[in-house]
Amino acid sequence: MPTITVLPHESLAPQGARFEAEPGKSLCQQLLDHGIDIEHACGMVAACTTCHVVVKDGFGRLPASSDEEDDMLDKAWGLTATSRLSCQVDPVATDLTIELPKYTINHARE
């Protein structure tokens, strides 16, 4: 089973995290299931950017993002070339290493 590695984040995952990917669940849902309280303001329908993550390893092995996801991502704080909306990522097919951005468009996480 592929592994999801979350790099340490000051408030959401101070020690980082590592867990096995679960089929049928978005990356956002799996983060929540493992106690990482990532924001998901729109209810995981690609209509906000609060679930933004940066994929540090595995980006190229993920299915491509949709136009809808790309349009929303353009509004994300701290957008990078390997950014994704975690609610739109089904990570079961590959190992991933992700970083949680320090901020979201909703509010600062300091």
User: Given the rule CB under 6 A, which residues bind ligand FES?
Assistant: 28, 40-42, 44, 46-48, 50-51, 72, 85, 87
Q: Is the CB of 28 or the CB of 92 nearer to ligand FES?
A: 28
Judge whether 18 and 5 are in contact, CB under 8 Å: yes
- Return the SS3 of 58: coil
Minimum CB separation from ligand FES for residue 49, in Å? 6
Minimum CB separation from ligand FES for residue 72, in Å? 6
Q: What's the farthest any 2 CA atoms get from each other in the chain?
A: 34
Q: Is the CB of 1 or the CB of 41 nearer to ligand FES?
A: 41
Q: Which position has the token pair 């950014």? A: 83
Minimum CB separation from ligand FES for residue 40, in Å? 4
Minimum CB separation from ligand FES for residue 80, in Å? 16
Q: Is the CB of 45 or the CB of 93 nearer to ligand FES?
A: 45
Q: Is the CB of 15 or the CB of 107 nearer to ligand FES?
A: 107
Q: 13: how many CB neighbours lie within 10 A of its CB?
A: 19
CA 28 to chain centre: 6
Q: Which position has the token pair 């993920």? A: 62
- Return the SS3 of 11: coil
